[in-house]
Amino acid sequence: MASDDEVIHDNRREFRRQRGGAECTCVFGGRESRAVLVDASCGGAKLRFDEAEIAMAALLPVPCDIIISDEHSVMPATVMWAGGAFAGCQFHQHLSLDEVARMMTGHFRLEVPRSCDQTFGVEAVAQPRRDAVSPAERDSDAQAAFRLEAELEARIKAMIDADIEAQAACAIVAAASVEVEATPPS
């Protein structure tokens, strides 16, 4: 089993997840509830709902479009799975690391533009995505982001290795010069 910070390809996780704890105000059919951000990445987030029955009534069946927002931005997403008190969503556009950090430390709002449950007395209304992206485009964007991340990791490793080699060379030169100075003239 892979840890949360590993990149997993077989279940489509492409970004490292960061553990959260930030609170979220959820609006389900006009009623407010609370959720906690369990973890988030540039590609999606996992939430735990205080009022699981209400949340599941609003989010199921999946996929279900939602709007996540804070005072700085609106982040449309789609709930890809939901069960028990948890749900996982995928952002329509990948978030920057700053946006992920802001989600993890700030307070945000989650709204369901449609309700799948009649208990709220709200008709189900399909909301078009403003920035709909085909799965092929989303995958190619994700692959490009993964390649970029791998390339950056490789460059950082190469820089560290070069620095270690340079330090080792300096240490050898320094040791040799100390040895030469310590050798008495014949």
Q: Could you tell me if residue 11 is inside a domain?
A: no
Distance from C-alpha of 76 to C-alpha of 66, rounded to nearest angstrom: 6
Please identify, among 99, 115, 131, the residue that sits at the C-terminal boundary of a domain.
131
Q: Could you tell me if residue 27 is inside a domain?
A: yes
- Nearest C-alpha neighbor of 20 from the set 41, 42, 51: 41
Please identify, among 131, 149, 171, the residue that sits at the C-terminal boundary of a domain.
131
Range of the domain at 32: 18-131
Asked if 120 and 166 sit in the same domain, the reply is: no
Asked if 100 and 173 sit in the same domain, the reply is: no
Asked if 81 and 167 sit in the same domain, the reply is: no
pLDDT higher at 65 or 132: 65
Q: Which pLDDT belongs to residue 9?
A: 44
Q: Label residue 44 exposed, middle or buried (CB < 10 Å: 0-12, 13-18, 19+).
A: buried
Q: Which pLDDT belongs to residue 127?
A: 36
- Per-residue pLDDT at 76 exceeds 60: yes
Q: Could you tell me if residue 137 is inside a domain?
A: yes
Across 11-15, 24-28, 91-95, 159-163, least confident range: 11-15
Q: Which pLDDT belongs to residue 31?
A: 87
- Percent of the chain whose pLDDT exceeds 90: 35
Asked if 125 and 146 sit in the same domain, the reply is: no
With beta carbons less than 8 A apart as the criterion, state whether 7 and 90 touch: no
Q: Could you tell me if residue 145 is inside a domain?
A: yes
Asked if 112 and 45 sit in the same domain, the reply is: yes
Q: Which pLDDT belongs to residue 45?
A: 93
Asked if 91 and 160 sit in the same domain, the reply is: no
Across 12-21, 31-40, 114-123, 144-153, least confident range: 114-123
Asked if 156 and 176 sit in the same domain, the reply is: yes
Number of domains in the chain: 2
Asked if 137 and 80 sit in the same domain, the reply is: no
Asked if 143 and 81 sit in the same domain, the reply is: no
Q: Which pLDDT belongs to residue 168?
A: 77
